[in-house]
Structure 1
Amino acid sequence: MTDAPERPRADLRRTAERYRSTPAEGIETRHAFSFSGHYDPKNTHFGALLACNEELLAPGAGFEEHKHRDTEILTWVLEGALAHRDSRGHSGVVRPGMIQHLSAGSGVTHTERNLGGATGPVRFVQMWLQPDELDATPGYGLRRVEPADGGLTLLASGMERDAGTDALRLRRRDAALWLATAGPWQPLPQLPAAPWRYAHLTAGSLGYRTIPGPKGGGRSMEPGDSVRITGEAFADPAAGGTGAELLLWEMHSPVSYG
């Protein structure tokens, strides 16, 4: 296990700061980290998270067959419907309120397309996590999310404490993905603590303090904004006038090399 970061920090990244690419007709991607032709050696990952992409696929558009290996891929749809099909015989349609997990393991190819016949775009957030079990048999999971009382819902986890829950099972023993929600002007529920946390706002607006106490500066988030959180930073988060929906990664170790 790697030691925790030295000091608390809440590093806000606006959606407009993401790297933008158009890999094929009808596809627009905004990358939070170095990806393909966008390379910054200081921005390759955060914690165990390797990618957090905002994707927009026009009607009829999609990603043709491509391969992944040793990556945990989580997909959360914001609008429309995403059709998935892979070389292991898994297929599914991901809609708002559902979470999809593709565990690439020893290798899998798949396609991702805007559902056939759709007249509007599909928008989704896709996140890639490094597993701690390599060369495993590829796996697939898709579930509809039933929001938990209190506004904090576990979507996926590899942690032993979460075995037996409805959460999709990750191949990383010290990471979990949560959905946090709050009504207009309400505080977010108590968020899980971890040395590395990554927060991505998917809907509404949110305000927070950079660190606890009067010395913490106030910040605000709009949809697509993210915060890379170390230690006890990201204090007193509260929703704005339209409420808030936040995806939150809880990670207890960073990317491991070698």
Structure 2
Amino acid sequence: MDVRRADERYPGGDEAAGIASRHAFSFGPHYDPDNLRFGALLACNEERLAPGAGFDEHPHSHTEIVTWVVAGELTHRDSAGHETVVRAGDVQRLSSAGGVRHVERNDAAAPLTFVQMWLAPHEPGGEPAYEIVRGIADSTPYAVPQAGAMLHVRRLAAGERTAVPDGAYVYVHVVRGEVTLGGETLGAGDAARVTNAEALDAVAVRRAEVLVWEMAAP
């Protein structure tokens, strides 16, 4: 188990434009050849957008992009004609496939915080696709078959225990609160990369929200 702390993330964004980013993996100017990916996961970015701030239209290709809103509202528009507002508890997925362009903005009056995760598909190309699941329930896994991955959302009360899925690659990201995992205490923004995970439990030290990626071997 490899634990990465919140303060170890690479800083990014544009503070003057109201964008603050923190990257868990090699990203943009912060190139780290030893931290390019874990399993299918290529990026786990924590993004904070001030009201009126956002990312102008930009391209993606050959990437599965999954977004989890922590607080606020995210406006999404893409070149395939989708326009939605993503709120806390929703899972949004954009399959960029052979190529798509999109805009991400905070058009609301309150600050926006979200976690965006990029995964590598098994096969490149294809047609872009978009999906949003409103208010996903605990213990309802969200599958990204194109990347051989499954997202599990866990919301835990203090003292509550949950099993971490067994898997070749398991990535545990703490959105809020605090949990113990394999003898380590993880706080908000911390993550654990577990190879060949087996018989692991996460226990909430205090009320917590956790995103868990279960990924097959490449």
TM-score, normalised by the number of residues in structure 2 = 0.95
The aligned runs of 1:116-155 (5 Å cut-off) are 118-148=108-138, 152-155=139-142
Tell me what 2:179 maps to. Answer: 206
Instruction: Kindly indicate which of the two structures has a greater share of residues assigned to strand.
Output: 2
TM-superposed deviation, 1:146: 3.8
CA contact (8 A) 2:170 2:197 kept: no
TM-superposed deviation, 1:124: 0.1
The aligned runs of 1:49-88 (5 Å cut-off) are 49-88=41-80
> Given the alignment of the two structures, is residue 192 of structure 1 paired with residue 165 of structure 2, yes or no?
yes
Give CA-to-partner distance per residue, 1:207-255, whole Å, 9 cap, x none: 122xxxxxxxx211111110001113683320013x221101111124x
> Given the alignment of the two structures, is residue 179 of structure 1 paired with residue 166 of structure 2, yes or no?
no
Q: 2:210 aligns with which of 225, 246, 251?
A: 246
SS in 1 for 2:62: coil
Q: Identity of counterpart residues, as a percentage?
A: 47
Give CA-to-partner distance per residue, 1:101-153, whole Å, 9 cap, x none: 000011000000002xx2221000000000113211000001113424xxx22
One-letter amino acid matched to 2:87: R
TM-score, normalised by the number of residues in structure 1 = 0.80
Root-mean-square deviation over aligned CA pairs:
1.5
Q: 1:236 aligns with which of 195, 201, 210?
A: 201
| In 2: Cα distance, 1:45 partner to 1:202 partner | 20
**Structure 1 unaligned blocks of 5 or more:** 1-9, 159-170, 210-217
| In 1: Cα distance, 2:198 partner to 2:48 partner | 31
One-letter amino acid matched to 1:147: A
**Structure 2 unaligned blocks of 5 or more:** none
TM-superposed deviation, 1:182: 2.0
Question: Between Structure 1 and Structure 2, how many residues are aligned?
Answer: 217
Question: Where does structure 1 differ by over 2 angstroms across 4 or more consecutive aligned residues?
Answer: 232-236
Give CA-to-partner distance per residue, 1:25-51, whole Å, 9 cap, x none: 110110000111001110011111000
